[in-house]
Amino acid sequence: MDRDGNPRLDGKGRPRLIESKYGASTTWMGKLPYRLNAGRHGGCPVLAVGITPELMTDREEYDREHA
């Protein structure tokens, strides 16, 4: 969202999804224990929540819409 509350657009004029900003290094739970144990969180408190595909009730719909 921009300052006026409008969605930010990509180069093709489509709304830019927040998920496109992040890669596996920041959102993949498989790397989280290593990063925390290595002190890569800067000493700040961390609350990590892992959501498996099985817990997503609309996963199939999401996959169809984002294929």
Give the total residue count for the chain: 67
Cβ atoms 8, 1 nearer than 8 A: yes
For residues 54-65, average pLDDT = 82
Q: Report which secondary-structure segment, H or E, holds 49.
A: none
Residue carrying structure tokens 């996959």: 63
Domain that holds residue 44: 18-65
Q: Is residue 46 part of a domain?
A: yes
Q: Is residue 31 part of a domain?
A: yes
Where does the pLDDT of residue 62 fall: very low under 50, low under 70, confident under 90, or very high at 90 and above?
confident
Where does the pLDDT of residue 19 fall: very low under 50, low under 70, confident under 90, or very high at 90 and above?
low
Domain count for the chain: 1
Q: Is residue 47 part of a domain?
A: yes
Q: Is residue 5 part of a domain?
A: no
Residue 18 is predicted with a pLDDT of 65
pTM of the full structure = 0.35
